[in-house]
Amino acid sequence: MSNLIDKLGIRRLLNLGVTEELSLDSSVRVQLSNLVSVLGIFSNIQYSIFFVIAGAPHYQFMNVIHVMVISLLVFVLYLNTKEKYFLARIILVFTISVPLFFVSTVSFGTSGGFYYYFLMFAIVPFVIFPYEEKWLILFVFLMNTVFYLWFEFFGSPGIFAEGTLLYHKEVRDLFRINSVVSCLSFVALFMFYFLRNINRIQKEMIRINDHKDRIFSILAHDLKGPIGTMSTFLGYLTTSLPEREELIFALKELKKSTNQTYLVLENLLDWVRNETKKTQCNPNKLSLSVMIQNAVEILNMQAAEKGIHIETKIADEYLVFCDERMTATVLRNILSNAIKYSHPNGTVVIDVEPIFPFIEISFEDNGVGMTEDLLGKILEGKRFTSRFGTVGEKGTGLGLLVCMELLKEQGGSLQVTSKPKEGTKITIKLPLIN
């Protein structure tokens, strides 16, 4: 069904004017106004044909009205593509009632039940306008309700020429049945579409709240420790005159805490930027060996404290086409995790293998590894409790999530293989320049 909708271009029509900048709620309202416009165009074309076949009174005049209304509804779709949403909705709610008014006044009268559509159009403003436009919603609702009541209680049946299809009561009853069924079907369609998107909005709110809780958790726990350590050592250095060895030790601890704080903040900001679709990817030709070496130099102290040897296997010089900041973040995160979860005096191996049009960079350690359940949660982006490193290092639980998203932005990918107590191998792919 989804493929059929795509082939017919219906999904594209419904999404006219929907942009990434719009909130989910606003996007739904634009889609609903497009839906009403498309249904209105289809209905006016359909009834123009039926009126000619059935010999409706003044059908020539009605077809002129239909052409004008169809043109205005097409203009509404155009305004949505130009992001003039409010003007499009104003034209829409006042245009869709026009053919009903004329068909019930100069053609069918109360025969055929076309005035039932006024009840449906009384509902439309509630689904396409936000609550802030409540007075406009109320006005359009009352306008259509008054039209319905007028034709229901003060209208008169139409007069049909003998020899036409509409002269027969059975044909007029078919039009009335069609009006009732169409009204109920359209209302059901609006409501189902609205409920479907309300469900999407609820899921998005749950996701946003979950992300908010995760951010607060990181700020409360993962930054508190490093900043507290820095404050302690700075207080010690400013209130006493330490020996050289003590000074070096304190400065190393400060550097370690600073690096840890920077990495946490960088991961957090990258994750938030990606979630809010504000990540900007600016790919360039970059030296892979230089980027890996920079990551190794930044994390050398972290590795040296645990006695971990970082072995790089890069035989040739490779150029990659990627964003420098994003890729540097990915390399630092993966290498930092490899060091964090490696046992003291272990080895982390960085290997490179070109498989055109990509190059594979693998980070392999013989550390604690991961269970299948934990690995599945990480790869699916689900929330999980971050583990401590082998000597008590704290993680944020965002590192691999950020890496996967940043690689995806650049046309790359990430794969993980891991076994508990045996180690982990993370392989990333980046676009390679031949």
Residue pLDDT, tens place only, 34-66:
988 988 898 889 888 888 888 888 889 989 999
CB of 363 closer than 8 Å to CB of 348: yes
CA distance 308 to 117: 76
Instruction: Supply the range of the domain harboring residue 312.
Output: 279-431
Q: How far apart are the first and last CA of the chain?
A: 42
- 209 burial class (0-12, 13-18, 19+ CB within 10 angstroms)? exposed
Q: Are residues 200 and 70 in the same domain?
A: yes
Q: Could you give phi then psi for residue 401, rounded to 5 degrees?
A: -60, -45
Dig out the tokens for 192 from the structure. Answer: 């189902």
Q: Does residue 58 fall inside a structural domain?
A: yes
Q: Are residues 321 and 407 in the same domain?
A: yes
Residue the block writes with tokens 């020539």: 60
Average pLDDT for 340-352: 87
Q: Does residue 351 fall inside a structural domain?
A: yes
More confident residue, 275 or 123: 123
Q: Is the pLDDT of residue 387 over 70?
A: no
Domain C-terminal end among 176, 207, 238 = 207
* pTM greater than 0.85 (yes/no): no
Q: Are residues 41 and 176 in the same domain?
A: yes
Sequence-distant (6+) residues with CB within 8 A of 55 are: 160, 161, 163, 164, 165, 166
Rg (CA), the chain: 33
Domain C-terminal end among 207, 242, 264 = 207
| pLDDT value, residue 270 | 63
Q: Are residues 157 and 302 in the same domain?
A: no
Q: Does residue 251 fall inside a structural domain?
A: no
Q: Does residue 248 fall inside a structural domain?
A: no
Q: Is the pLDDT of residue 6 over 60?
A: no
Q: Are residues 164 and 286 in the same domain?
A: no
Residue 86: closest CA among 121, 136, 39: 136
Q: Are residues 417 and 286 in the same domain?
A: yes
| pLDDT value, residue 69 | 92
Q: Does residue 214 fall inside a structural domain?
A: no
Q: Are residues 200 and 287 in the same domain?
A: no
Q: How many domains does the chain have?
A: 2
Query: Over the stretch 184-223, which tens digit does the pLDDT of each residue have?
Result: 888 888 778 777 777 777 777 776 676 666 666 555 555 6
Q: Does residue 244 fall inside a structural domain?
A: no
Q: Is the pLDDT of residue 141 over 90?
A: yes
| pLDDT value, residue 4 | 42
Please give the share of the chain, as a percent, with pLDDT higher than 70: 81
Q: Are residues 192 and 93 in the same domain?
A: yes
Average pLDDT for 252-280: 66
Query: Over the stretch 281-318, which tens digit does the pLDDT of each residue have?
Result: 778 888 888 888 888 887 887 788 788 888 888 777 88
Domain C-terminal end among 180, 207, 234 = 207
Q: Are residues 113 and 13 in the same domain?
A: yes
More confident residue, 205 or 80: 80
Q: Does residue 96 fall inside a structural domain?
A: yes
Q: Does residue 334 fall inside a structural domain?
A: yes
Chain centre distance of CA 342: 36
| pLDDT value, residue 5 | 44
The model's confidence at residue 144, banded by pLDDT at 50, 70 and 90, is: very high
Residue 341 is part of a domain; what is its CATH number?
A: 3.30.565.10
Q: Are residues 163 and 290 in the same domain?
A: no
Q: Are residues 56 and 195 in the same domain?
A: yes
Please give the share of the chain, as a percent, with pLDDT higher than 90: 11
| pLDDT value, residue 420 | 83
Q: Are residues 326 and 419 in the same domain?
A: yes
